[in-house]
Chains A and B, each alone.
Chain A
Amino acid sequence: MDPATLLFIFVLAAFVGFEIITKVPPTLHTPLMSGSNAISGIAIVGAVLALQSSFPTIAQILGFVAVVFATVNVVGGFLVTDRMLAMFGSKKKKG
C-alpha cells in the first residue's frame, strides 16, 4: 500500500485514540489500561502473516514465537480485564 496513505491512516487513528478517552474515572484506569493493552496484541495479525510459506523457516519460527507472545497478551489481557470489571460490577450500584 502507498506509504502516504498508511501514514494518513495512522495520524487519523491516533487522533481518534486521543478523542475517545478524554475523561476517564480513576476507577477505570487499570481496566482501561489492561483492556487497551490486550488490543496491542493485534501484533498477532503481523505474526500470522509471517507464518506464510513465502517466508523462510527462520522467519516462520520467529512468527511462531510472536504468535505465542501476542496470544498470551490478547487472551490474558481481555480475561483479566473482564475479571476486574466483574468485581466492580458485583457491587450494588446506587444511582
Chain B
Amino acid sequence: MHLEIYFYIAASILFILGIKGLARVKTARRGNGIASLGMLVAILGVLIEAKLLNWPLLLTGLVVGTAIGVLLAKRVAMTAMPELVAAFNGLGGGASALVAIAVLFGIPAEMSLSDYGAMQAISLPAGILIGTATLTGSAVAYMKLGGKNVAHPVKGPTRNLVHAAIVLAIIGCSAWMAMSSGSASAIIAMLLVLALSAVAGVFLVTPIGGADMPVVVALLNSLSGIAASASGFVVSNQLLIVAGALVGASGLILTQIMCKAMNRSLGNVLIGGVGDDNVAEDARDYTNIKSTSGEEVAMLLDGATSCIIVPGYGLAVAQAQHTCAELAKELQKRDVQVRYAIHPVAGRMPGHMNVLLAEADVPYEELWEMDKINPDFQNTDVVIIVGANDVVNPLAREPQGSPISGMPILDVDYAQTVVMIKRSLSPGYAGIKNPLFENDNTLMLFADAKEALQSIVDEVKDL
C-alpha cells in the first residue's frame, strides 16, 4: 500500500487552497496557514514513503534549517524584505538542484542516465540548470537589492553571442551527462553543467536595471517553483511536480502583472533595455528649478484640503516610512485629506510600498492603486513625492522616443502643487531627464527622504 499518496493529495489540496487564500485580503493570513499545514502533511508523507532514512542527518538538517529560518524571519527589517525574499528564492532553487545532483550520484556506475528513459535524461539536467541559475541569479539580485552595483562583464553586442554560447554548451554537456555510463565522466559532465548554470544565472540577472527588480524577484520566484517541479520528475514524485507547477504558474502571473505595469514585455526586461548603465546626455540639464524648504511646504499644506503622498524606493532606502506616516497623521489632525498613491512597480519588489507602509501602521484603505487615484490628481492641492522618479515622469506619455514611453505613470503633474523630495537632480534608473522637475507647479526639496519629512512634520506642528 502506498499510503503516502493520500498525504500528497491532501498536501496538494492544501497548497491550492492556501495560494487561493493568499490572493485575497480577507483570507490571506489563513491561506498562508493552510499552505504551511500542507507542507507539514507533505513532510509526513515523505517520511512514510522513504525507506531506511539517515535519521541523524535528517534531524540535524531540519533543526539547523528551522533555526536559521526562524532567526531570519523574526529579525529581518521590513525594509530588507526584498533581499530576504530573494534569498529564500535562491535557497529553494538550490535545494532542487542538489536533489537532482544527489539522484545522479545514486545511479549505478555501469548505467547511464538515459537508461532510465527520456524523462530522466531531460529533467535531471533541467533541475540542475534551473535550480542553480535560480540560486546564483537570486544571489546577484540580493546584492543589487542591497545597493551593490553588479555590472555584466561582457558589454555590447558580443553579450548575446556569449549568452547563446553558454546555452549551447549547457545543452551539449547535458547530453554528454545523460549518455555517459561510468560515473566518472557523468560527474565531470554534471560539474560542467553546474558551473555553466551558475554563470547563466548570474548573466540572467546582471543586465537588469534596478527599476526592473520587481520583475526579476517575481521571475526568480516562478523559477524556484519550476526547479522544484523538475526535481519532482527526477524523483518521480507527484507532489513535487504539483507544488512546483503551482508556484511556477502563480509566479509567472505576478511577473506578468509587473511587466504590464511598466508596459514592457518580459523579453525586453531580460535583455535589459532600460537602466543598463546608459544615462541620457541631457539627463542632468535642468533650467527653471525651484527649490523649497520644509517650512515652505508646511505653509503650503496649511492651506491645503487634500494631499497625496507618492512613495518610491527612496522612502525605503531612507527608512522614512514612520516619518511619512507621522506627517500624514499630523495633516489628518488638521482636516487635510491624505492618501497614498502606489505605483505597481514602486520600490524593488512587487508590493514593496504596501509592506513598508503597513509596518508604519498606515491603514490600507489610505493606499490607492494607480488606476483608481489618477483621476483625482487634478483636484488635489499638494502632492508630495518621496523618493520616486521614473513612475512620475511625464515623458512616459510620449508615444515614442523615450525608454519609458508608454509606461503607465501617476499623473502627479495635474495637481495644484507638486513637492518632490529628492536628494539631487540625478536621474532615476531609466537614466533620463524628468521634465516634471522643471514644471511651474513643481517645488524641489533637496534632502534625504527622512530628514525632509521630519522637517515638514516639525514645521507643521509649529503652525
Task: Spell out A's residues near B (CB within 8 Å).
Answer: 1, 3, 6-7, 9-11, 13-18, 20-56, 58-94
Contacts and interface: CB of A to CB of B under 8 A. Distances in A.
B218 A33 contact: yes
Interface string B353-395: 0110011011111010100000000000000000000000000
Contacts of A87: 78, 355, 358-359
Q: Secondary structure at chain B's binding surface: helix, strand, loop or mixed?
A: helix
A92 B236 CA distance: 47
A92 B58 contact: no
B246 interface: yes
A3 B119 contact: yes
A15 B227 CA distance: 17
Contact of A46 (B61, B72, B96, B349): B96
15 contacts: A26-B344, A34-B81, A36-B19, A44-B95, A48-B53, A48-B58, A49-B99, A52-B51, A60-B102, A61-B57, A62-B98, A67-B62, A70-B92, A73-B92, A76-B72
The number of chain B residues touching the other chain, given as a range, is: 35 or more
Interface string B147-190: 00000000000000000000000000000000000000000000
Greatest chain A CB density within 10 A among B42, B236, B249 is at B249
Interface string B240-280: 11111111111111100100000000000000000000000
Nearest to B62: A71
Greatest chain B CB density within 10 A among A45, A52, A72 is at A45
Contacts of B362: 91
Contacts of B251: 33, 36
B29 A86 contact: yes
A42 B237 CA distance: 11
B32 A81 contact: yes
Given A17-B253, A39-B15, A50-B102, 13 more contacts: A1-B236, A3-B118, A6-B119, A7-B119, A10-B241, A21-B19, A21-B20, A37-B92, A40-B221, A46-B228, A48-B43, A77-B88, A88-B29
B16 interface: yes
A50 B99 contact: yes
B36 A38 contact: yes
